[in-house]
Amino acid sequence: MGYAKTALLMAAMTALFMGLGYLIGGSTGMVIALIFAGGMNAFSWWNSDKMVLRMHGAQPLAPGDRFGLHEMVAQLSRNAGLPVPKVYLMDNPQPNAFATGRNPQNAAVAVTTGLMRSLSREELAGVVAHELAHIRNRDTAIMTVTATFAGAISMLANFAFFFGGSRDENRMGLVGTLAMMFLAPMAAGLVQMAISRTREYAADKAGAEICGNPLWLASALGQIQRGAARIDNLRAEANPATAHMFIINPLHMHKRDNLFATHPATENRIAALKDLAAQGGFGQGGSRQSAHPQSSAARGAGSADWSGAGAEFDGEEPSRPSVAGRPRPVPRKRRDRDEGPWS
């Protein structure tokens, strides 16, 4: 999605916000809503990373962590031409991840413990590369501002019902106010969805280029989708406005979670990545390789060795036979496809 189209969508959300202000307090309310929107976005611009990370209980990981995650993020950041973002771990059984921050210099990548247990190192590299692509594309700031707007519009819609202003100012009447109370959050959700869904495809493509093999990310998306569908994410359910920031929609507990899809269909994303691999141009990771990144043949020629990333998550040290002169941990046998090698 081009930045011009994103600007138009954000302008539409601002107009909706101001319309609600007019509904509540006439022209004065509209001006107040505009001022409030500016202050709200200024606050979220400087504090978005802290807010979202705190919402999801993310804890920082220092360089040299026993999972090897920070080292992986650093290597992929060099591939992407980015400064190394802060790295966080969320104690959450659902496999998922997100990136946040106002710019590449003030960014963070957060993954769940469930993700570390579910994925191979190559799959994990594909996920991290996807999140770094969001940072490089400056999606993190846009998506955080959108989430803030969506939450504020829902709040204002409720105010419109309870504090609808005087009769002279509230020309829509009770029926119009009721309609606005339901339609405004719906419209905000549609704008949020429009911004998020197209950017996921762009981040998938860029992430494949960063890690060197589209099939790593394709395999990871299938794993995450299956895990997210059966494992609850209570923190995300409590903060649904942040759902679009995750690599896979973390919501599924409530009926409202499926009202709007914040992400493209995972099957379509996987198909697009497989098509990208078939086009070649990814070293050894093109169409000549198998669909699962576990084999040594699936390692891109320009990719790094991901030994240690995820390998020590459960405290056990798998063997590390040499592959093409480089050490590579061998995943333990999967008990079930959904459980992953580090379960």
The catalytic site residues sit at 131
Least Cα distance to 114 among 97, 89, 99, 92 occurs for 92
Lookup: tokens for 169: 């100012």
**Euclidean distance between CA atoms 201 and 268, whole angstroms:** 9
Assess contact for 295 and 213: CB atoms under 8 A: no
Q: Are 84 and 63 in contact (CB under 8 A)?
A: no
**Distance between CA atoms of residues 330 and 322, nearest Å:** 10
Q: Kind of pairing, strands 97-101 and 326-327? A: unpaired
Cβ neighbours around 69 below 10 Å, total: 23
Q: Please say whether the beta carbons of 45 and 145 come within 8 A.
A: yes
- Enter the DSSP assignment of 141: H
What is the DSSP code (8-state) at residue 262? Answer: S
| 214 CB-near residues (< 8 Å, 6+ apart) | 204, 208, 273, 274, 276, 277, 282, 285
Written as six digits, the tokens of 160 are 């419109």
For residue 84, give Cα distances in angstroms to 38, 42, 45, 106.
30, 24, 20, 9
* C-alpha count within 13 angstroms, C-beta hemisphere, residue 170: 19
Q: Is 223 exposed, middle or buried (0-12, 13-18, 19+ CB in 10 A)?
A: buried
